[in-house]
Amino acid sequence: MRAALVSGAGIGIGAATAKILGREGYHVFVSDILPVEGEAVAADIRAGGGSAEFVALDVSDTDACVAAIASIEARFGGLSALVANAGIAPRAAYPILTDEKWDHVLDVNLKGQLRLIRAAAPAMSARQQGAIVCVSSIAGAVVGWDDHWHYSAAKAGITGMVKAAACALAKDNVRVNAVAPGFIRTAQILSEENSLGPVGLAAAEGTVPMGRAGHASEIGEVIAFLLSDKASYLTGQTIVVDGGLTISL
């Protein structure tokens, strides 16, 4: 059975992606720092006839990332699919963005993805097979976010990292791509403390040509496509999934 690891899979886009991959026949390693939520996602996959287990994983911990991937390799010979999704988006409006807040978001959102790719890529290369998808955002990859400089920088960095990784791994038949979601109805965007909140999202939906925010499953389906053989000649790309928002600006 093919093995897939999804980081940040306890909620939101990660959870939706994990469930879709379970449906597609992967054994899904649902990883997160949220044990209750992560266990629930794995249980949902199993209840639907799929195969999954929860793995407690903090992507800011290098040793933990290495150990998690090594454990999977011992059982499966390596991952077939990696979805680097875990991230945070605390509001830190200029000019009060401290070094500590900047470093923390970059460490989780950008370096966290590096840690997973760096750990998983050698076995993928040795097997001459594998696909990686990183979750970026239109905030950074395409547009800015005024009170999230650190988040935007990390998401822009993902786009560059994906291009470099794709170039390095293409010779080994390992593909690396990213998705850049727009307004997606998740707990993150509905947070009034750190994002738009319900009222702000309702207003933002009016700027989307398709007239609504996206659903986490709609991002998950794109990720599943990028991991599949249907995308066998596609690498190094960041696919914007935003209901037409950025083309209309």
Residues labelled catalytic: 151
What residues have CB less than 8 Å from 129, skipping those under 6 apart?
80, 173, 174
What residues have CB less than 8 Å from 19, skipping those under 6 apart?
41, 44, 45, 48, 50, 217, 220
Neighbouring C-alpha atoms within 13 Å toward the C-beta of 106: 13
Residue with tokens 């370096």: 111
Task: Confirm if 184 and 195 have CB atoms less than 8 A apart.
Answer: no
Task: Confirm if 79 and 130 have CB atoms less than 8 A apart.
Answer: yes
> Distance (Å, rounded) from C-alpha 113 to C-alpha 77?
21
